[in-house]
Amino acid sequence: MPDSIEQLIRELSEIYDSESMDSYVSLYLNKNSNTKFLERRIRACKSVLKGEKLKNFLDTMSSIESILKKNSNENIAIFASNKHNFLKYISLPIEVENLLVVDSSPYIRPLARIQDEWESFTLLLVNTNYAKIFSVDMGLIEDTKKLSADIMNRHKKGGCSQARFNRLRRGAINAFLKEVVEALEKRADDRIVIAGPGNAKNKLIEMLPKNLKDSIVEIIDIDIDDEAKLMKESISLISEREKHESIQAVQRLKEEILKDGLAVYGVKETLEAVKNGQVELLIIQKDQKVPGWICENCQVVDRDNKKICPYCGNQTSEVDVLEEILEFAERTDAKIEFVDSEELIELGHIGAILRYK
């Protein structure tokens, strides 16, 4: 399995078969699905595939079904091609629409949408003598790091003076928090949530370097032992933040359009910009498809329907143009934001903030 959904999306976006439009199978399947969906889609694909394409499909489905048997209790996405000896899969934290797509490249749009809506983040739970760092990806804890220190909490009579005891205790706490900062520097994501009781978390924030301070998205006051509540609350906060970022993305697009700035919108202009590597942020309407065609030989994509490429004479494939734009964006390290916006619908379902004109 891949290390992360981000890594998998990037790998899948680079793949396409210039010789065959039907060599990759992409399957998104919920754990509670009955067998009828898969049986129906397999029958449909078998009825239109012939010869070597049919053989590749059947062999690929055999590999996919073995993965499904081993992961029957999970929501899963599988991408495979027997022809190319390719098989990748990933467990999903949420249910998605059941899909089985046969095409010249893996179908990544549902996966990219999950990545956008379930952003990874680092969660730090800390007090004066205990810390736990969680790496959270797609709503699941991927990794943890635990730190603790033996720090005296009470001054004993007959020992050092109260003032000296307090100095020693503050020094021990600061040394521990410094250790936590060093651990956080090695593990932090672009988004950090810091939580815990009392003032320790605020002292730690003061000690953070600027890049980590700038990455803090939420600060939560919570008991050190209430990890379950903290995880639920932090995931909810990150989700709400993502919704706010979607609104901001559309607003930023509108502002750039009004001042004739770094923005394009509509399928044709956005496609041209993303193929040129100009796109910094791709803004795409949720659940929208735009029918079109692609020539895998020369990588020309356009709307409507053409059976033969007007540039090289090769046979074309029917595609969702928005999916193809998404794949180009992933290849050029553009950020992706899925939105549900009437304003974006009026702009042609898609737009982009540019790196340059």
Q: Spell out the residues 6+ positions from residue 208 whose beta carbon is closer than 8 angstroms to its own.
A: 181, 184, 216
Q: What pLDDT does 180 receive? A: 93
* Residue ranges per structural domain of the chain: 1-117, 119-225, 242-357
- Report the topology of domain 242-357: 60s Ribosomal Protein L30; Chain: A; (3.30.1330)
Residues sharing a CB contact under 8 Å with residue 7, sequence separation 6 or more, in sequence order:
none
Each residue's pLDDT tens digit, 172-186: 889 999 999 999 998
CATH code for residues 1-117: 3.30.960.10
pLDDT score recorded for residue 276: 94
Which pLDDT does position 160 carry in this prediction? 57
334/80 Cα distance (integer angstroms): 25
Residues 6 or more apart in contact with residue 189 via CB below 8 angstroms: 120, 121, 122, 135, 215
Topology match between the domains 1-117 and 242-357: no
Q: How far is CA 246 from CA 75, 118, 331, in A?
A: 26, 13, 22
- Which residues of the chain carry a pLDDT beneath 70? 1-3, 18, 20, 150-160, 162, 165
- What is the per-residue pLDDT for 153? 56
Of 120, 9, 118, 140, nearest in space to 74 by CA: 140
pLDDT of residue 155: 47
Q: Are strands 317-320 and 99-103 parallel, antiparallel or unpaired?
A: unpaired
Q: Which is the CATH superfamily of the domain at 119-225?
A: eRF1 domain 2 (3.30.420.60)
pLDDT for 42 equals 96
pLDDT at 256: 97
Assign 11 to helix, strand or coil.
helix
Tell me if 348 sits within 8 A of 126, measured CB to CB: no
Cα separation, 82 vs 65, whole angstroms: 13
pLDDT tens for 111-156 read 999 888 887 899 999 998 899 999 887 777 777 888 877 655 554 5
Residues 6+ apart with CB under 8 A from 72: 31
Q: Extract the tokens encoding 239.
A: 């989700």
The two structure tokens encoding residue 324: 């193809």
